[in-house]
Every structure is written in structure tokens, then in C-alpha cells.
């Protein structure tokens, strides 16, 4: 058995090396590549993607997994090896079900659809995007069919991003949450609006950058094992546990957008820097799922960096950096400003109180589309109706409505729920953390985040992808994913800010 | 035949995609990678290197080449397809002769030797490097043996860098050149030294960078298809014709080092940006050889950017950038300063008049070592003796002598001659260019380099690796590589500068 396991690990390590080369090509494309490099880069990425796929789906891997399955019973089920075999068998079984020709067609359709969407959004023209959208949902239905039987046709799509999670579970969580969040937002809308005008003006980009770097360092981001660059859209990527990179986008006219995205990506990066070193060069050196990853980024962005305690330490420092803009703004005014709730039609600009509603809207529409209950041609109206129901607003333009997100044009369906699940998990973890570290608020007020990071490292980060998300949340919090802590958090925080 | 050619091209394109991913990993390592990424990056590069090797040396490629060989006679021998088949057959025949186990051992030995050399150089300790050096020359002898029979054991090593070039040819060129360059340097040494102290002091790095970028743009470097970054050691790399990158190192205390290395790498980059687009995604989208590549970089660095005409245009502009340092230095003083001849023991600091002698010294020692006529333990003394014979100096330290170059520790033997061959070719081209463009000096005085670039594009760049170096030089200049033009150039230029 040892020989076969060694052989399997070596194949997986090769596949991982190729995957990380693809990740580097992508990072470089967004951070550095001159425009002229696009065509040749796409050839390179396509070749590497095919190689990684071939390496993983070879009959040899299937045979090794089969041979190892019987002897795996002798392993400690929580050992790295047992977990590696389990997750590899799961991924292998899924990957071999999808014909290579289908993958190629899907890649081609979505690549073209992305270009169509960019133009459609710029021209506020849903009709030109409609054929692409229709084709993509057809292909995703075909894709789901490869995994039949299933409880729900959306299950196989969700599984790509949240292993083990079922559509029915997510729907149940969201059904509990929706009326409560709608009611909260309604209550807030009846209160006087908060002034956050001081967050807009001119803020020297270099000073914004430097302040963000200082915060990243105190959070525990290790610049010897990572770096930060500029890109149009912030993201986090890794080329190993020792090379974790984040990008940020600094807006010279807005103080908040660059800073909170830096902290958000920093949260992702701390996760990737925190995997147990023994997992390096294996498929377990990844986050457990997108929702778990998002729980880390949003925990740092919102529960930490939008807390009053955080700014007790940092606000005087920020005032020194931007004295003319913030010198006459009090800590409490600042704290309320960065937590202003606004019913915006745009998801990426949404605050903590409204964000999940944007996700729920998308999930419902995705499910209706994939079930065939909603025709893509009726999508704009369905979108706007849901917006009115949940947020009480109607987008003024398609680019602020149904055409705002990149996901569908890229064929990414089943991804949106992970954003909201990440929020829920972050609040569940937060309650556990505050029990474990009773003086956490005092630590924040002193600019200390070491105990928090240590807790996250020990409870979440070190395990990498060893556990499926629901199992991991259960192990750490004693419950699977549940919405109550997040709702408690929102009601307490915004109840206080808006005097509800 | 068409099917088989298409299949071969598709395999070569895949191999190229993998090779460019390796190049990106290496560029990133030098330009961006945090220290913690080193170990995992080395795994990734090793996996990709093995994949590229497997892809190229597969029996299928051998069979395709064999099948295509007979039908290739019907092709125009100068067509891209005929040349692709010829160069691929040559490379394939060479690559399959080297056992994979040998490559692996050599990679391991040289990787370790590099670390040993870094330490040995820092500690001025040749003895600690001696075992590594001995082993590397043994392995290179074994390597040469794979290609027996040969005229000279050094031929197979040279062939890796200069296809078609023979040791005897290089020796003949250098034997003609050596006494003449030694005599020139001796004559210069008898003249009063030139003052170049104004090139040293403090020069704001950003201003140096900006000036270099301006020059690169006027040279014709296309920033839409390339970029420049910082690295410890300047180099040029490409991830396609549309993505050609140079790096530079700016020394805040020296004006010349960063500028001339920027122009040097710019010369390499113009070559890579100038390949005929139809060669993209094939192995012909490369330079013809290292010597041809070096002829381009040194042509721009020396024949262009160390000419007086160049500075008639640029010197007033440079004085505006550094008024306090250069305001009272005349154009002629500046021109003489940047062309100061000095008998330095260090190759990378050598000027145009002495550079080739550094190369000749290394070639003779490499040949003596590979022939077994010189024992590695006798190398330091042999080095110093040759230094005295050629330059009349003795290095004050091993780090300025036998331990100065990285090449041998990496197993790179046969590479040094390409530097000098590049010089010779650059002067051969220069005579042709000045015949073709009689008012070239006037164009330079107006800051115009378009006609020069157009000539280089049409004569050299566009062909990529279609022709072997001697054939290419013959086609363009009517002669194979010859030393007379370079010697004429040196004698005219330095005769004038030093009033010989």
C-alpha cells in the first residue's frame, strides 16, 4: 500500500505543480501582463489546463484509488492520508464523469460569452447577451445531468464550490434569514441616514497603500511568504504555502474601498499562509471550500475591521495620515460612517446588512433558471421584482441590475451562495472566538490580533481541505452552518448604530 | 504529409507553452517572488521541465520527424516549414541522446554547486569549490561523449549555444583577434587616463529609470508588448512575441551601469519583439543563437548608445535630468568618460576594448579543462597567468578572479564565446547598416532610430531561429563571422578617443 500511496501522491503533486503554474499565469495576467501578451497567454493556460486534467483523470489514478480504497480502512480516518484519499476519490469520481469534449465546448462558449457580456453591460443591452445566457444555462443543465441521480438539479453545481452541501440545506438557511434581514433593513430605512461624506474626496493612493500594508502586517500577513500588488479587481492567489499573493485596487476618491478590500483579501491570504506545512504539495493545501474561505475574509473585513474596537486603535493613526480629511471627524462618526447601511442595487457595494439579500436573489433566480421554471428572456423583470421585494428599490440601469455580475457570463453557477454562507460561518466562529478569548475587544483596542490569528490557525487554517465545510464547522462550533449567530450579530450591531 | 506536419506543430506548440510557463516562473522568481516561495517554486519548475522534455522526446515526435523527412524535399528549403523541420530534427536528435537520469544528476549536482560557489566566492575560498568544479567538468565530458564522434570534445558543448559552430572556427577567430586587442590595450595604457568621476555620485533612481524608459521608447521597444521591472541581475525573457520583458538594476551611485544595461536588454527585447508573427507558437520564435542575440544587445548598447552621435541628441536631455552632476561636464568629456578603457579584472565591468580578452581567457581555460590538459586544482594560477598575459594585471582577490562568474557553478560551459562572437557580429552588421543607411549618424543626432530598427527587423529579427547563426550572418553580410570589422571599429573609435 505504501508504494501505491507514494505513487498517487507523486501524481497529485505533479498535477498541483501544473495547477500552480496556471495560477501564476493568471496572477501575472492581472497584475503585470502587457496587452500584447493576451493571445499567447491564453494558449499557454489552455495547454497547462489540459495537462493538469490529463494528469489527474488518467486510468492510473483511478486504479490506484481503487487499490488503495480497501486498505484505507486501516488508516486513522482523520489522518492526512485518509483524508487525502477521501477527497481525491471524490474529486476523481466527479472529474471523470465530465467528457473532455464537453469541457472544451463549455470553455469556448463561456470565453465568447464573457466578451459578449462586457459589451452588453457597457451598452445596457440585455437582448444581445440573452442567447449566450440561454446557452450557458443549457450547458449547465447538461453538466448537472452527468451527476444524475441527484436530489436537486442545482446540487451538482453547488457541489463544485461547496463539497457536501445540498440545495435544500441552503434554501432552508436562507428562508429563515430572508424575512429577518428584510425587516431589519426596513427598520433601518425608517431611521435618519448616516453621514459618510468624509470617506469621499481625495486620498493619496500611496498613503492608502502604506496604511493598508501596516494593517496587513499587524494582522499577521507574512510578507516573506507573500506580497501585495495592484490589479483592476482584488483577488488572492497562492503558488504554495510560502507564496501567497493578494492584489488590491486603490480608489483615490474613496477611502473605504481599497482599505476594506485589502483587509478582505488579507483574510483569505492568512488562511492560505496557515495551512499545516505537511500538507504542502498535496491537494489538501487548499481552503476547505469557498464558503469557509469567505468566512475568513469577511471575518477580518467586517467583524474585525468594521468594529469600533479595531478603530479605537487605528483611527488616531488614520487621522494622522489624512489630517485634513479626518481631523474634525470623531471616532464615533467614523465608525458609523463605515457601517452606513444603504439599499444599493449593486452587490459589490453592499454593506453587511444588505449583502445576503443580494445573494438570495441570485440563488433563487439561478435555481429557477436551471430548473427551467424561469425563461432567460424573463430574467430582467424577475430580477427587478426581487429587488423591489427584498430591498425596496429598482435598479436604474441593467448594468446596475441583471448585467452587473461577471459570474454567469463565465458559466459560474452555484457560486453566489458561498458568499452568504461565508457570512453565516464568520458569525458562528465569532461567537466561539469571543468565548475562547474573553478580552478580544481589549486586544483589538491595543492593535493586537495575534490571539485571534492563533485561534483561526488552530481551528481552521491548519486543516486546509482535510474536512468538508459542514464537517469543519461542526467540529469547530458544535453545529453545522446556521443563520442565528449572524442575525444576532446584525441586530446587535445595527440596533446600536441606528438606535433601533 | 499535411496531417503529420499539423500534428508535429501541435506537439511543438504544447512544448513551447510549457517552456514559456517555465520562463514565467523564472521571471517571477527574480522579479517578484517572496523568499518563502523558493522551495515550492523549484518543485513547480522541475515538474514543468520534465513535462516539456517528455513532450518533446516522445517516440511519436521521432516517428513524425522520420515520416516527414522524406516529403520535406518537396518544400522550399527556405520556407518556415522546411526550416522548422530541420531545426526540430536537429534538436530532437540531440535531446534523445542524453539519458534522463544523466539530466537529473546534472541538475542535482549543479544546483548544489551553485550554493557552494556563492559561499566560496563570499569567503574567497577556491578549495571549497574545487570538488564541485571537478565533478561538473567530468559530467560535461560525459555529456560530450553522448555526441561522439566529434572533431573536438568542446564542439558538443558549444553546439548547445551556437548551432553549427565549431571549436576550431572560434579558436581561429580569437587567435587573429587576440594579439591585436592586446596591442591596442597596451597602446591605450600608455596614454593619460580619462576622467569619468562625474559618472559616480548620487543619481536619483527614479530619474535614472525614467530616462531609461524614454530611451527604450525611442529605440522602438513596444510597451504594449512588453515591460521593464527591477531585478538583482538584468535579463530579458519572453512569454510570446507579444510579451517580452526586460529587467534592470539601478545603482543610485553610478549613472552608467543601469542605463547601459537597460539599453543592452532593450536590444535583446527588440529582437524578441521583432520575430515574424507567423512564427508565433513555434520553436522558431526564438533568437538564432546566443551570439546573434548578443550582437543585437551589444549593437544597441555600444555601437549606438556609446556613440558620440547618440549623445549629441541625448546629452542635453540628460543634463536637464541631472543638472548638478553634469551641468559643467561637456559633451566630449561625457563621451570620453563613458568610453574610458580600464584594465579591470572583472568581465561584467569590462569596456568594449578589453571585453573580448576576458572571453578568450575563459574559452582557453574551458578547453584545457574539458580536454583534461589542465587540472581544476591548477585553475587559479592559470587564470592569473592569463590575466597577466592579456591585460597585464593580477586580480586582487578570487572573487575578482577565478570565482567571479556564475556560469561554471551552473554547469554552463561553452557559453562564454558567444559574448565575444556577438561583438564581432555586431560590427559586421554595423558596416552593412552604415552602407545601407548613409545618413545614420545624422538620424542619431536627431534621436531617430526607426531606420536602424527597420533594417534590423528585416535582416535579422523577423527570421527568428530559421537560420543557423553562420548562415544568417553570411546571408546578411556576405561573410561568415569574421573579426576584422570589430577590430577596425575598435581601432578607429579608441584611436580617436585616445589620440593613438
Instruction: Give the model confidence (pLDDT) of A397-442 as tens digits.
Output: 999 999 999 999 999 999 999 999 999 999 999 999 999 999 999 9
> Is there a catalytic annotation at residue B265?
yes
Note the pLDDT tens digit of each residue in B469-488.
999 999 999 999 999 999 99
For the sheet with A236-238, list strands across it. Answer: A226-230, A244-248, A236-238
pLDDT given at position A315 = 98
Q: How confident is the model at residue B203 (pLDDT cuts 50, 70, 90)?
A: very high
Per CATH, the architecture of A124-500 is what?
Answer: Orthogonal Bundle (1.10)
Q: Are A374 and A382 in contact (CB under 8 A)?
A: yes
Q: Which residues pair with B200 in a beta bridge?
A: B254
Region B410-439 average pLDDT? 97
Note whether B239 contacts A40, CB cutoff 8 Å: yes
Q: Considering chain A, what percentage of its residues have pLDDT values greater than 90?
A: 97
Which residue is catalytic, options B169, B265, B294, B468? B265
Question: Is A44 an interface residue toward B (CB < 8 Å)?
Answer: yes
Note the pLDDT tens digit of each residue in B52-73.
999 999 999 999 999 999 888 8
Instruction: Pick left, alpha or beta for residue A281 (phi over 0 → left; psi -120 to 50 → alpha; otherwise beta).
Output: left
Classify domain B125-500 by CATH number: 1.10.1370.30
pLDDT given at position A71 = 81
Distance from CA of A41 to the nearest CA of B (A): 7
Question: Residue B21: its chain A contacts at CB < 8 A?
Answer: 21, 24-25, 44, 48
Q: Which of A39, A48, A227 has its CB closest to that of B34? A: A227
Note whether A32 contacts B242, CB cutoff 8 Å: no
Note whether B243 contacts A43, CB cutoff 8 Å: no
DSSP assigned state of A254: B
Question: Is B277 an interface residue toward A (CB < 8 Å)?
Answer: no
Question: Is A326 an interface residue toward B (CB < 8 Å)?
Answer: no
Q: Considering chain A, what percentage of its residues have pLDDT values greater than 70?
A: 100
Question: Residue A9: its chain B contacts at CB < 8 A?
Answer: none
- Secondary structure (H, E, C), chain B: CHHHHHHHHHHHHHHHHHHHHHHHHHHHHHHCCCHHHHHHHHHHHHHHHHHHHHHHHCHHHHHHHHHHHHHHHHCCCCCHHHHHHHHHHHHHHHHCCCCHHHHHHHHHHHHHHHHHHHHHHHCCCHHHHHHHHHHHHHHHHHHHHCCCCCCCCCHHHHHCCCCCCCHHHHHHHHHHHHHHHHHHHHHHHCCCCCCCHHHECCCCHHHHHHHHHHHHHHHCCCHHHEEEEECCCCCEEECCCCCEEEEECCCCCEHHHHHHHHHHHHHHHHHHHCCCHHHCCCCCCCCCCHHHHHHHHHHHHHHHCCCHHHHHHHHHHHHHHCHHHHCCCCHHHHHHHHCCCCCCCCHHHCCCCCHHHHHHHHHHHHHHHHHCCCCHHHHHHHHHHHHHHHHCCCCCCHHHCCCCCCCHHHCCCCCHHHHHHHHHHHHHHHHHHHHHCCCHHHHHHCCCCHHHHHHHHHHCHHHCCCCCHHHHHHHHHCCCCCCHHHHHHHHHHHHHHCCC
pLDDT given at position B106 = 94
Q: Are A22 and A291 in contact (CB under 8 A)?
A: no
Q: Which of A32, A33, A243 has its CB closest to that of B37? A: A243
Q: How confident is the model at residue A72 (pLDDT cuts 50, 70, 90)?
A: confident
- What is the gyration radius of the CA atoms in chain B, in angstroms? 23
Question: Is B240 an interface residue toward A (CB < 8 Å)?
Answer: yes
Question: Is B281 an interface residue toward A (CB < 8 Å)?
Answer: yes
pLDDT given at position A251 = 96
**What count of Cα atoms within 13 Å lies in the side-chain half-sphere of residue A226?**
26
pLDDT given at position B322 = 98
pLDDT given at position B73 = 83
Note the pLDDT tens digit of each residue in A290-336.
999 999 999 999 999 999 999 999 999 999 999 999 999 999 999 99
Note whether B24 contacts A20, CB cutoff 8 Å: no
Task: State chain B's mean pLDDT as an integer.
Answer: 96
Note whether B242 contacts A17, CB cutoff 8 Å: no
CB contact burial A117-146 (16+ within 10 A = b; e otherwise):
beebbeeeebeebbebbebbbebbbebbee
Task: State chain A's mean pLDDT as an integer.
Answer: 96
CATH of A2-96, one of 1.20.58, 3.40.50, 1.10.3470, 1.20.120: 1.20.58
Specify the pTM.
Answer: 0.92
pLDDT given at position B1 = 76
pLDDT given at position B479 = 98
Establish whether domains B2-96 and B125-500 are of one fold: no
Note the pLDDT tens digit of each residue in B437-470.
999 999 999 999 999 999 999 999 999 999 999 9
Q: Are A59 and A11 in contact (CB under 8 A)?
A: no
pLDDT given at position B2 = 86
DSSP assigned state of A238: E
Distance from CA of B277 to the nearest CA of A (A): 11
**Which B residues in the span 349-378 are in contact with A, Cβ-Cβ below 8 Å?**
none
Q: How many CB atoms lie within 10 A of CB A401?
A: 19
Q: How many CB atoms lie within 10 A of CB B279?
A: 20
User: Which H or E element spans position A18?
Assistant: helix A2-31
What is the Cα–Cα distance from A318 to A314, expressed in whole angstroms?
A: 6
Q: How many CB atoms lie within 10 A of CB B443?
A: 16
Q: Which of B21, B41, B226 has its CB closest to that of A48? A: B21
> Looking at chain A, which residue has its C-alpha nearest residue B47?
A14
Note the pLDDT tens digit of each residue in B217-276.
999 999 999 999 999 899 999 999 999 999 999 999 999 999 999 999 999 999 999 999
Note the pLDDT tens digit of each residue in A3-31.
999 999 999 999 999 999 999 999 999 99
The per-residue DSSP string of A292-338 comes to HHHHHHHIIIIIITTSHHHHHHHHHHHHHHSHHHHTT--HHHHHHHH
User: Which H or E element spans position A244?
Assistant: strand A244-248
**What count of Cα atoms within 13 Å lies in the side-chain half-sphere of residue A409?**
20
Distance from CA of A11 to the nearest CA of B (A): 10
Note the pLDDT tens digit of each residue in B382-399.
999 999 999 999 999 999
Note whether A17 contacts B223, CB cutoff 8 Å: no
Question: Is B25 an interface residue toward A (CB < 8 Å)?
Answer: yes
* Residue spans per domain, chain A: 2-96, 124-500
Note whether A21 contacts B21, CB cutoff 8 Å: yes
Question: Residue A36: its chain B contacts at CB < 8 A?
Answer: 222, 224-226, 240-243
Region A77-84 average pLDDT? 94
Question: Is A230 an interface residue toward B (CB < 8 Å)?
Answer: no
Separation of first and last alpha carbons in chain B: 63
Question: Is A26 an interface residue toward B (CB < 8 Å)?
Answer: no
pLDDT given at position B65 = 97
Note whether A39 contacts B240, CB cutoff 8 Å: yes
Region A249-267 average pLDDT? 97
Question: Residue A225: its chain B contacts at CB < 8 A?
Answer: 34-37
Question: Is A32 an interface residue toward B (CB < 8 Å)?
Answer: yes
Note whether A17 contacts B224, CB cutoff 8 Å: no
CB contact burial B306-339 (16+ within 10 A = b; e otherwise):
bbbbbbbbbbeebbebbeebbeebeeeebbbbbb
Q: A70-84, B150-164, B217-231 — which is least confidently predicted?
A: A70-84
pLDDT given at position B72 = 82
Note the pLDDT tens digit of each residue in B309-353.
999 999 999 999 999 999 999 999 999 999 999 999 999 999 999
Distance from CA of A252 to the nearest CA of B (A): 22
Amino acid at each position: 500500500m505504501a508504494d501505491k500511496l507514494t505513487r498517487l501522491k507523486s501524481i497529485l503533486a505533479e498535477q498541483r505543480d501544473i495547477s500552480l503554474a496556471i495560477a501564476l499565469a493568471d496572477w501575472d495576467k492581472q497584475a503585470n501582463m502587457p496587452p500584447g501578451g493576451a493571445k499567447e497567454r491564453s494558449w499557454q493556460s489552455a495547454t497547462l489546463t489540459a495537462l493538469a486534467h490529463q494528469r489527474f483523470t488518467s486510468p492510473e489514478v483511478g486504479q490506484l484509488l481503487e487499490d488503495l480504497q480497501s486498505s484505507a480502512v486501516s488508516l486513522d480516518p482523520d489522518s492526512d492520508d485518509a483524508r487525502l484519499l477521501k477527497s481525491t476519490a471524490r474529486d476523481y469520481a466527479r472529474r471523470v464523469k465530465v467528457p473532455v469534449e464537453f469541457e472544451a465546448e463549455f470553455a469556448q462558449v463561456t470565453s465568447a460569452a464573457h466578451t459578449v457580456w462586457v459589451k452588453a453591460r457597457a451598452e445596457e443591452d440585455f437582448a444581445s447577451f440573452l442567447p449566450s445566457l440561454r446557452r450557458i444555462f443549457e450547458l449547465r443543465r447538461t453538466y448537472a445531468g452527468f451527476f444524475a441521480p441527484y436530489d436537486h438539479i442545482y446540487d451538482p453545481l453547488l457541489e463544485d464550490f461547496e463539497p457536501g452541501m445540498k440545495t435544500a440545506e441552503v434554501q432552508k438557511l436562507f428562508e429563515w434569514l430572508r424575512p429577518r434581514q428584510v425587516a431589519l433593513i426596513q427598520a433601518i430605512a425608517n431611521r435618519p441616514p448616516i453621514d459618510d461624506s468624509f470617506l469621499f474626496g481625495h486620498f493619496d493612493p500611496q498613503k492608502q497603500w502604506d496604511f493598508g500594508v501596516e494593517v496587513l502586517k499587524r494582522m499577521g500577513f507574512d510578507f516573506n511568504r507573500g506580497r501585495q500588488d495592484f490589479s483592476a479587481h482584488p483577488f488572492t492567489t497562492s503558488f504554495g504555502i510560502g507564496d501567497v499573493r493578494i492584489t488590491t485596487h486603490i480608489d483615490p476618491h474613496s477611502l473605504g474601498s481599497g482599505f476594506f478590500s485589502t483587509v478582505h483579501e488579507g483574510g483569505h491570504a492568512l488562511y492560505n499562509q496557515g495551512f499545516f506545512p505537511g500538507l504542502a504539495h498535496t491537494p489538501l493545501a487548499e481552503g476547505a471550500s469557498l464558503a469557509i474561505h469567505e468566512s475568513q475574509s469577511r471575518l477580518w473585513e467586517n467583524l474585525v475591521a468594521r468594529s469600533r474596537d479595531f478603530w479605537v486603535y487605528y483611527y488616531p493613526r488614520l487621522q494622522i495620515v489624512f489630517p485634513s480629511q479626518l481631523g474634525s471627524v470623531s471616532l464615533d462618526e467614523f465608525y458609523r460612517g463605515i457601517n452606513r447601511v444603504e439599499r444599493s442595487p449593486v452587490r459589490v457595494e453592499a454593506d453587511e446588512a444588505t449583502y445576503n439579500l443580494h445573494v438570495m436573489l441570485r440563488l433563487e433566480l439561478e435555481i429557477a433558471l436551471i430548473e427551467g421554471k424561469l425563461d432567460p428572456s424573463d430574467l430582467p423583470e424577475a430580477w427587478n421584482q426581487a429587488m423591489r421585494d427584498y430591498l425596496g428599490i429598482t435598479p436604474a440601469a441593467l448594468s446596475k441590475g441583471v448585467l452587473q455580475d461577471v459570474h454567469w457570463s463565465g458559466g459560474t453557477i452555484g457560486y453566489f451562495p458561498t458568499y452568504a454562507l461565508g457570512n453565516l460561518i464568520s458569525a458562528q466562529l465569532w461567537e466561539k472566538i469571543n468565548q475562547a478569548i474573553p478580552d478580544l475587544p481589549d486586544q483589538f483596542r491595543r492593535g493586537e490580533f495575534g490571539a485571534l490569528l492563533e485561534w483561526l490557525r488552530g481551528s481552521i487554517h491548519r486543516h486546509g481541505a482535510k474536512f468538508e465545510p459542514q464537517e469543519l464547522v461542526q467540529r469547530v462550533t458544535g453545529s453545522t452552518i446556521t443563520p442565528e449567530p449572524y442575525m444576532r450579530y446584525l441586530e446587535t450591531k445595527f440596533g446600536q448604530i441606528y438606535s433601533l
